[in-house]
Amino acid sequence: MFSAIYFESAVRDHPRTRAILRRYRDLPQIECGRYSEIFNRKSQNFRLQKENSALILARKHGRKVLPAPGGYGFDAAGSHYFSHMLNCIYDCRYCFLQGMYRSAHCVLFVNYEDFADAIERTLSHPKEHPKEHPKEDTHRKSCHSARSRRISSSALPMRSFGFAQDDRVGRQAQDNGVVAHLPTDAGEVAPDAGQVFYSGYDCDSLAFEPASGFAEYFVPWFAARPRAVLELRTKSTQIGGLLKQEPIQNCIIAMSFTTAAAAARWEHGVPAIEKRLAALGRLQEAGWPVALRFEPLLPDTSPDACRELFELVFSRLDSRWLHSVSIGLFRMPADYFRNTLRIYPDEALFARETRTRNGVTSLRHPHEEAWLRQIETALFRHIDPKNYYRCADGETDREN
Ligand code: SF4
């Protein structure tokens, strides 16, 4: 998986560092100063390095919990994210990480306890967070995007959460059959609402779980704080650690899917759709809240291919017990998109018409709204639209 392990001197004696160094004892192990000396080095080639990436064990300094970009997630709560890892062991050609970082090495911040303290402080003082994401980064991967059509947390959990499930934050709107609770003030923390903490922005939450023990540490931590919600975003089948634990209703496992053709072509090293579904099915059976993220939806995806995917997914999962379902268009911050093009100038995926709006580049579909409606109609044969939200770069082009 890795070619070498670097570790900061500052974390040399941390129990997580020691356990990982023992686990990978056959790899070259190199002590270093700050991880940024390796990770941020100039003249690195992401594409080449991805073939031979290293793991860097480091301490996270500075802000550890950040406000989720506006429009992200569930409106009835304060939304935050935290990243215990930078980069991913998988290699999806559409991933924004390849345009974001110079390096393809993976960084694991081993000081989980400091992240937990930061989350605790956020829970105690939710209003001290700025409303805006510090980098104005309102358009990252998955539904890390601006302007999702979304529903409040009141409509999401089909099992009872520990936080108040009211929809005071929203006014109801009807659009394309989607009942959406639009926020009166994005980022506002509603009284009595739980707060959501997203993991999986800058990595895959579970892919490195056997070595990182991330969920093993954080699930019990969130179990003791039922008013806070943890969402693990993943394409991984590394669920053994979760299955060993009692399910908790404030930890959502959100799995991403694209159509079979897109997965085969663009998702390198990612577990097959069938395997992901089997993992999600086992989690659902064990009582874990699971969610589905159908994204990124690429413009050459046909509604028929989506129909097939939905048939497969909902033959394996019980839609009555899904936490939420979303569809997200392909989109990426414009500068990350430019960087990605530099790395893969000959990549067919990007060789099509693009649209850049509000600093976000998306791949255009000539009849976007009609196309999306067909896909949503196919989806709503399986789920209650109340459990659905759409993530896009903004308003899609209206056609009628
Ligand atoms: S699984 Fe997610 S984080 Fe990992 S490469 Fe694919 S899109 Fe990026």
**pLDDT over 90 (residue 54):** yes
In this structure, what token pair is assigned to residue 31? Answer: 């002590």
Q: Which part of the chain has CATH 3.40.50.12110?
A: 5-65+84-111
Q: Burial level of 79, CB count in 10 A (0-12/13-18/19+)? A: buried
pLDDT tens digits for range 7-40: 999 999 999 999 999 999 999 999 999 999 999 8
Confidence of residue 45 (pLDDT cuts 50, 70, 90): confident
CA–centroid distance, residue 92 to ligand 1 (Å)? 5
CA–centroid distance, residue 173 to ligand 1 (Å)? 33
Confidence of residue 394 (pLDDT cuts 50, 70, 90): low
CA–centroid distance, residue 347 to ligand 1 (Å)? 17
> Percent of the chain scored above 70 by pLDDT?
78
Handedness of CA 317, 323, 325, 326 (dihedral sign): negative
By mean pLDDT, which of 44-58, 192-206, 252-266, 310-324 is the weakest? Answer: 192-206
The CATH number corresponding to 5-65+84-111 among 3.90.110.10, 3.40.50.12110, 3.40.605.10, 3.40.640.10 equals 3.40.50.12110
> Percent of the chain scored above 90 by pLDDT?
72
Residue 96: left (phi > 0), alpha (psi -120 to 50), or beta?
Answer: alpha
The pLDDT value given to residue 336? 95
Q: Quote the strand ranges of 33-100, DSSP E.
A: 55-58, 66-67, 79-82, 85-86, 91-92
Beta bridge partners of 170: 183
The pLDDT value given to residue 42? 81
**pTM of the predicted structure, to 2 decimals:** 0.85
Q: Specify the higher pLDDT residue, 165 or 119.
A: 119
Q: Which part of the chain has CATH 3.80.30.30?
A: 124-391
The pLDDT value given to residue 44? 84
Fold of 124-391: pyruvate-formate lyase- activating enzyme (3.80.30)
For ligand 1, is residue 393 a contact (CB within 6 Å)?
no
For ligand 1, is residue 100 a contact (CB within 6 Å)?
no
pLDDT tens digits for range 154-198: 333 333 222 222 222 222 223 333 322 222 232 333 333 579 999
The pLDDT value given to residue 209? 97
